[in-house]
């Protein structure tokens, strides 16, 4: 046979699960999008179509909903760990499970009454996690996407290489804006280790990321990116690796000279917010001595 | 000639303009997407291709940026009024201008320093306004879209009509969730009238809308919709008409009986959040005695 | 009561229905997205939440699927007519039904065997129709969206108005590209009239639209738009009104002079395809003597 | 220093370039979206913000447009090879270049005249390629996305594993539909080797993929996926590795029993086309003896 099967995985993607817990009149909400991906001894289904080792993707969906009821959802990470362990330990042909979760945040609507069951979706960023388990060790990579940030000053871009195709002018004051997509890998890998506080870790990591973005006087987006990652590694002992993919959301000063108007970055600057093309800056920041495991290309979930 | 020209309009759509104003180290941001649409004596360009009456769409774009510099952006509404007045009064063949604006909200990133030039996009809803001017009277319709809200209880759906095709069970306790798209029309139509405080009006109207959603014990989404509109009309004297388009974002209780699990709306309910199809409830609420002018189908901008 | 209810409608939107018919080994596919919207005596459900006149949106969904089985889907238009008639004539409080349909086209995959049950989605445009019925007369508006077309020459833009904000250069040769969104209204309004051949009408109308776009030497996009509509009215007696919304998908000649390269519209021109902003040209073309009924803003379905 | 820099890359993403070549009155179009990503000695820009080794992303954009003029666009692959070679060989600090290209296909609009300059976008799939060069060897991975296909019969799913959470019924006749995302790696790695005919290779590979999908009697989507990949490897000697990501676009038979209607897969079956969740089947197929290099998660471009 001239062809062989390589890496393969399967499961049910994008199971939308909402869980409401009630503490008297005060309700709490968890709103997740859960994707299951399983690997193992699956050669036969590819070669001959025999499903004898295949747990249906429909079953993985049912399991997600049943586990939300049976075990609750303390955090996206904890929920993913429950699921991954179940698939790997309960089904012999399955050797590896990867659970990806998107989480959508809600805040309460202020009302005059006592009731606390009304919510409005925050919409600022989507929280992410990916749990991988092979029966012996864990990999937990969490992160976020769609977080749009801007510094309206304290950003330069100068001293760069010029070649035959360079026309860009140096900038001493520009807008720096990006839509953060970030992932961070935890050094928790073993059931024997104490588990991080996933909720606290996410809240603090997002805070560090935002503050490093805001407080760095930027000579390049690469430098800002590095500061964002280094700040996380420095402050969060549970995280060993961070990767960011940062589009440079260009804001160009509009040329208003033809209309007799000066438009510089002093007070009252008017910018055109461009769509495409955009600079794209990507890098990994590591705790010294740690190996990189987050893929170069950050994917959707 | 057997064919004739009917209503027509043209302009530059989706001009993305960002303006930064500086109050010492404290910066302020206005982030708009502005679309211009002009009508008037434009028969010839359609019939023969003569552009003798056509102000280029490129010029309307330039005007947006120049006006952001010259006149500033106090509010989306005020900015649209400036632009509409300019196009109708400065160009003889143009009889009507319609300016549509999307506005994106930003909040400050908390930092340890004094500087106030760092922002994160809120992402909760997109604010909208549409200004129409024909040289004598104004129509201002503002609104929002993409505002996702949920009540986790205090919603029923019972006592409905049953026909041959009805299988739905009555519900005494369900999730009510929707993505609000709303428009409200101001009774300011004339330069002689005092102009509303557009920023204040928007903030209060959004608040009323949210509170009416949260505080209504809902027997149907139609009833909730009506309460949301009536609350606005009752409290905001500057608004005469409201229209909502409310998709019923269905959250179905998952059937967990096959797995020996009870899943009702008491504590710990697990729901499947569905995408399509969805109920779609649309209605206009009017101040008594006022005529309806907002179109039946709410459009994008 | 200071507020009153205005226009209102409700129903189930985006019912995705696929029907496979078999002619021996040769299969045929109809792939639709159907949205139902009903109006009538619905004051009480808005004012008090009484559902005594409300046929659930869930029932309208069931009806779509049941009708696909019982009556088949000869065409999107015919299917919508069946549904609209049913809702208006079978339920007393419902006075008006509006059915919107998107249709997705598939073509066959060529295979070596006899079987004809394999398809690939065409993806070129989405076909649309909207059926409105009030118990006595019909309005059928069909159309399409997402049809992207380009002329790589035979387009000018000159002789336009210049004002203080005009910087655009005249163009004697440019790319003209747009993404066609069009709607056309049939003069079939009465069950007594012979019904058009909906499939044939759509195929020919799309052909006329494309050929008018291709064959018009364009002095402005407005002129091209008018020719597209006039060609349809001239050739298709069943259609009285056409409306187009045509974004001018700008393709800008890239300035390569800084690199010592000439880049004009002669052989080998290189263009930057821009996203935003874009010109937006919208107009109605009517058979002489007919009234306009298609709304100014074309909406999604 | 407790943190260090890992893999990093930067460049300008999504440069939209359209090139028109003229052969008398017959025009030809190439419509690409080109993303550049460069790596090399870039530590300093991350650590200190020094741009002394940084060729601006704006320059990489200019290079894309200038090369389209100077060297033409024979194929997406050939164009990417030109660009990658340029960046790696012309700038000392750059050691690796990755060029990603999306290509959009257009077909001619049939007209009565001689002119051949009118086009309509096909819309069926997006063609992809990724060129990576490190100064000595090449990796070319091409592919496609958004190609939606369906078999309306000749698909079963039976004999699968059942556990506590399994409720799925076995299916002897079902719709099999997916949206193909595929990548294939060429064994051309060296300038000494004869280069494949990239256009011919793409056309044939797409054909094999479609025919294998259509002609396989499917016992599982995994089996169909494998056949699609194996068919390509068998017939295209220039390709050593294929990876597919195939969402199972579920079409569920609607239960019409409550309305007294039978709905099975015999003639006239009515299906509900679901959005989420969906099965997701992913696998690599390799020429025997070759190593896998395409990442497990297929990314956007």
Average pLDDT of span A240-250: 98
C56-103: per-residue pLDDT in tens? 999 999 999 999 999 999 999 999 999 999 999 997 899 999 999 999
Q: What would the two tokens of residue C269 be? A: 């021109």
In D24-81, DSSP assigns E strands to: 26-40
Nearest by CB: B159 against C4, C16, C52? C52
Which chain D residues have a beta carbon less than 8 Å from that of B249?
A: none
Q: Which residues of B lie inside 8 Å of D (Cβ-Cβ)?
A: 164-165, 167, 258-259, 275-276
- Which string of b and e fits C186-210 if b means at least 16 CB within 10 Å? bebeeeeeeebebeebbebbbebbb
pLDDT digits (tens, 9 = 90+) for D286-299: 999 999 999 999 97
Q: What is the tens place of the pLDDT at every residue in A46-63?
A: 999 999 999 999 999 999
Q: Give me the mean pLDDT over the A82-105 stretch.
A: 96
Closest B-chain CA to A210: B109
Tell me if residue D300 falls in helix, strand or coil.
coil
Residues of D with CB under 8 A from a CB of B: 164-165, 167, 258-259, 275-276
Reported as type and span, the H/E element at residue B128 is: strand B126-133
Instruction: List A245's β-bridge partners, or say none.
Output: A181, A282
Residues of C in contact with B276 (CB under 8 A): 13-16
- Residue partners of D106: CB distance under 8 A and separation at least 6: C150, D29, D31, D119, D120, D121, D122
User: Given this model, what pLDDT does residue A1 score?
Assistant: 54
E-strand spans in chain C? 3-13, 15-23, 26-40, 94-103, 106-108, 118-121, 126-133, 138-151, 176-186, 239-248, 251-253, 269-273, 278-287
Q: Inter-chain contact A220–D280, Cβ cutoff 8 Å?
A: no
**Token digits of residue B250:** 């269905």
Residues of chain D with pLDDT under 70: 1, 300-301
Show which residues of A are catalytic.
Answer: 12, 57, 250
Return the residue of B nearest to A66 by Cα.
Answer: B256
The pLDDT assigned to C152 comes to 98
Shortest distance between the Cα of C176 and any Cα of chain B, in A, equals 14
pTM above 0.80, yes or no: yes
**Tens digits of per-residue pLDDT, C250-260?**
999 999 999 99
Cβ-defined contact of B276 to C16 (cutoff 8 Å): yes
Determine whether D291 is exposed, middle or buried from the number of CB atoms within 10 Å of its CB (0-12, 13-18, 19+).
exposed
At C300, is the pLDDT very low, low, confident or very high (cuts 50, 70, 90)? Answer: low
CB-CB under 8 Å, B267 with A19: no
Taking CB atoms and an 8 Å cut-off, how many pairs form between chains B and D? 9
- Chains B, C: CB pairs < 8 Å: 276
Helix (H) or strand (E) holding A273: strand A269-273
Are the Cβ atoms of D56 and A160 closer than 8 angstroms?
yes
CB spacing of D280 vs A52 below 8 angstroms: no
Q: Are the beta carbons of B213 and A109 closer than 8 angstroms?
A: yes
For residue range A141-166, what is the model confidence (pLDDT) as tens digits?
A: 999 999 999 999 999 999 999 999 99
Chain C: touching chains (3 or more CB pairs < 8 Å): A, B, D
Instruction: List pLDDT tens digits, range C188-230.
Output: 999 999 999 999 999 999 999 999 999 999 999 999 999 999 9
CA distance linking residue C181 with residue A87, whole number of Å: 48
Complex confidence, ipTM: 0.96
Contacts 24+ apart (CB under 8 A), B154-159: B154/A115, B154/A117, B154/B216, B154/B217, B154/B218, B155/B217, B155/B218, B156/B218, B156/B219, B157/B219, B157/B220, B157/C51, B157/C56, B158/B219, B158/C51, B159/C50, B159/C51, B159/C52
Chains in touch with B (3+ beta-carbon pairs under 8 Å) read A, C, D
Of D62, D106, D113, the CB nearest to C215: D113
Whether C12 is catalytic is yes
Is cis: bond before B277, omega within 30 of 0?
yes
> Would the CB atoms of D150 and C119 count as touching at under 8 Å?
yes
Contact list, D266 vs chain C (CB under 8 Å): 22
User: In this predicted structure, what is the pLDDT of residue A91?
Assistant: 77
Cα gap A96→B248, rounded to integer Å: 38
* Furthest C-alpha separation in chain A: 76
Helix count (H) and strand count (E) of chain C?
A: 5, 13
For D279, which residue in chain A has the nearest alpha carbon? Answer: A12
């Amino acid at each position: 046979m001239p062809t062989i099967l390589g890496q393969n995985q399967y499961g049910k993607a994008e199971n939308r699960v909402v869980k409401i817990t009630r503490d008297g009149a005060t309700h709490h909400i968890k709103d997740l999008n859960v994707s299951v991906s399983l690997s193992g001894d699956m050669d036969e289904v590819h070669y001959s179509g025999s499903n004898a080792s295949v747990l249906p993707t429909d079953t993985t969906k049912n399991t997600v909903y049943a586990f939300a009821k049976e075990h609750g959802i303390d955090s996206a990470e904890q929920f993913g760990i429950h699921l991954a362990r179940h698939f790997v330990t309960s089904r012999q042909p399955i050797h590896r499970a990867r659970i990806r979760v998107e989480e959508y945040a809600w805040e309460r609507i202020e009302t005059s009454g006592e009731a606390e069951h009304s919510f409005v979706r925050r919409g600022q960023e989507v929280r992410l996690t990916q749990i991988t388990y092979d029966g012996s060790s864990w990999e937990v990579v969490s992160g976020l996407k769609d977080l749009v940030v801007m510094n309206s000053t304290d950003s330069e871009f100068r001293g760069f290489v010029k070649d035959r195709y360079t026309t860009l002018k140096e900038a001493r004051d520009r807008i720096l804006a990006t839509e953060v997509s970030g992932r961070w890998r935890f050094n928790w890998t073993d059931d024997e280790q104490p588990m991080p506080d996933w909720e606290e870790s996410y809240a603090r990591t997002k805070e560090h990321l935002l503050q490093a973005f805001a407080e760095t006087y930027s000579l390049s987006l690469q430098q800002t990116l590095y500061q964002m990652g280094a700040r996380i590694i420095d402050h969060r002992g549970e995280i060993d690796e961070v990767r960011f993919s940062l589009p440079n959301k260009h804001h160009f000063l509009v040329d208003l000279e033809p209309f007799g108007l000066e438009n510089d970055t002093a007070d009252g600057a008017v910018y055109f917010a461009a769509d495409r093309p955009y600079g794209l800056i990507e890098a990994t920041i590591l705790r010294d001595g740690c190996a990189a495991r987050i893929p170069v290309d950050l994917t959707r979930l």
